[in-house]
Structure 1
Amino acid sequence: MSLTVSIRIRRLTASKAIGQNRHDLRQAIPGYVNQERTADNDIILVPANPTTLRQTCSERRAQRHCQRILKSNAAIAMGGIITFGTEAQAVIQALSKADQRAMYLSVGQQLAERLNTTLTGLVVHNDEAAPHAHFQMPGYDRDGVPLSKTVTREVTSQLQDIAGQVLAAQGLNITRGKAKQERVKDGEDRSKIIHRSVQQLHEDLPAEIAAAEQRRAEAEREAEEAEKKREKNACLAAKAKEDLEAGRGDVEKVQKRLKAYERRQAEAEKQIKALEQEQTDLEVAIARKQKTAGHIQGEMPQLVSAKKLLSKNLTVAPEDLADYHQQVAGYIRDTIAAKVESAVQAEKARIVQREQAVRAKESQLNGQEAELQAWHETLNTRENRLKNHDDVYAENTRLKQRLETVGMRVGSILGIHNASMNRGKVLRAVESASSMASFQKALAEQKLSLEVNRRNGPGG
């Protein structure tokens, strides 16, 4: 029976909420969307942005007097989707836009009421393979309890009941689907139950692949911006090095700028490595999802139509059934094996390409590291030279002061008045002496000359 409605929910962090909002509002259009029907979509409630959701969650948590702040990677929202079985889709599409809006809004509000929270987003999509609606609720209920703790298996089953009850109340012959456990308990064919999950994958995988490709593109853009930042700071660091070597500007300030540029450059390189790893992980995830989608979408071999005589009990001849089974087995053995091998080879090629890029980046970083090491050695040499210059200057100053002191003392010995003013004469006597004897002779002559001048007086 496909006259059914189904509810699926998942927790959303801030980054996931951004991606979901972009998908819901068609800010990022997946490849499987029929853009000619995008105008038929209906934004009943514009989804709240992550900032508003985080604020709502924080306010609700405050009621419980939580000491720790909300983590950056906490689930700030509960996202969900309302889908319908094959036959129910035709019933929904036959409704007017106003009736569809009332139905979706009633379901969303009743689900939010059951979870003791509020409905903050509801968008109807009619441009995909099947009509459905995405809804959004804050990640904490009105009492400040996280929905991740209150939404149990029993609660999710109750959400299916609520959706069926709302549609029944509106006169639609659509009910909730039969629980898997009950289907197994009733002895239903397990292959049919598994087939339902394959159908669900068929609906979900395109959206998941599109979201992963979108994030990969965003990571590539972020990596490009980080590379520009790294190159900019590398250039600024090189200029600061040139200024230091040329002695331009204040040495201390230039050194501080150099350290800041090198730190920013290192941070950018770290961010680039993280983004490259994320891109690699996304590529692997996309390849796996595409491989699974290819297996699901692959056409199974068809039996050739022909009129055959049936036995009296109206059953298919055993040989015909055996032929079909053989064809299916051949398809599984050959087609799927070929697709898997192709995917493996493609993944190996991507890994080799990524390894080459990593090696090139490592070589570049090693060169930069050697350049930085050489610069540090040059800087240390310059600092040592400056230190030696300061030491020599201090020693010269000390010797000059000592020489002046010696001059004044010798002047006093010679009886020179104002020895500090006449120390030049004494110093000239010292400079002209080549030995102790000549120095003593110079002192005697200087003393005699001074004595004669005193006796003769100013006018003598």
Structure 2
Amino acid sequence: MHDYRLGRIPAYVDQTKLRDNRVLIRLRPLTQVRAENARLREQAGRQRKMKSNAAVVMIGVITFGVLAARDFMKLSPKRQNRAFRKLARSLAKKFATKVESLVVHLDETTIHAHFMLRAYDHSGHALSDKIKRDATTSIQDLTHRVLACFCPGIQRGHRKLDRLAAGANYVETLHRSVRALHQDLPREIEEREAELTAMEIAKAELQAEIEEGRKDLDRLSEEQRTERLALASQKTQMEARARDLDARDADVRAREDKQQEREDGLDRRKVNIDKNAADLGQAQDRHALMADQLVKREEEVKAARAEANKTQSTYRGALAAMEGALAEISDGTLRRDPATGKLMMKDASLLRALPEELRMGLLRPMRGLVDIRSRVNQRSRELDRRGRDFEEKQAAVSEVIAALAEGRAEISGGDIVMEDMPASLKALGETAEDWMIQAVLDLIVRAGEAGVMRASQDDEIEGPGLG
């Protein structure tokens, strides 16, 4: 690439100054630029696919006149770089694109810079459609405005037609003036003459090498003819030996085929033997596995039987402990301690011999049975007491009736008045029995008030034995 001095370098380039060239913006891979161009076209709604030979970048060069070049060379390299960058970016901004490459060349006659712009603007339109011949004037105007900021001595050039119309000679409209040619041509002529002399020397050396090569070729041709005859003789001998070797090879191959057949038979027998051995091994493995499973099953059965015996023994003990507890409940020897609330029994050895979990499980129903038995006994005692009280009060009622009949008691103001009223009748409670006794007493009072019950008079009784 010319900008980066890749490939063949032109003769007008001073190769001693190649290191002076400056790369200000390095070109990125063209595949990336092309992909970006395609994306911009797609965003712009372009229906047609981009051609394979479509421009990827647009190239340009920034050059100076003789006087402008001298003034520009007086600037520092840093300021020159700033001027070139500013101009390249201003051009990119003008056409709504971006700078892809910028390289300054100092190895030619005058300083100049090569630049590349992306071939499509931000809207996806090709720069070739925007930059026409009439756009060059505005480009030169922009170039003058930018570079004049860095090098005020630079002046805007005039168009060639305007200069000719103003009376300038045609030679003066060339890129280099006659004065510049007078300065540059002697050096260039000297360089071309030096190049011509070097080419003449190289030509003479090349002709000498060609002549020497011809002599070597003739010598090699004679040697090749001799070698060709020797090779022909050797070829005949080799062909005879090859035929002999082919015959021997055929015999060897026949023997090898027979040997291969025998080996194939042995291989088949070996395969059958290996298969039988594998089947036998698998059968042995199955038998061993079954034996292991049987042993394991026997161990599991033994363990299950031992566990069952242990469980049976445990539950037998639990049954015996429960029977003993029921017997003590019946005998009244299993009861709760009134102070601590704990169970107390005559013989707790069977219960203590049980596992803790089973023992705790039996204690809960035993406590319930003891509590039920305690409540039943308490209820029985209460009923016995109430029965005795009721019988006592019945006897007291009979005594009151007898007292009324004998005149030792009387009914007054709805109450029974008796000097020695039984204590059990003085304070009747709210029980059903007391209500019944009170009802009987109320009936006696009403009967007495109605005259049904009264004391008997001796004069009202007639019969033998009475005076």
Question: Is the radius of gyration larger for structure 1 or structure 2?
Answer: 2
- Taking CA–CA contacts closer than 8 Å with sequence separation of 6 or more, which of the two structures ends up with the larger relative contact order? 1
TM-score by length of 1: 0.37
TM-score by length of 2: 0.37
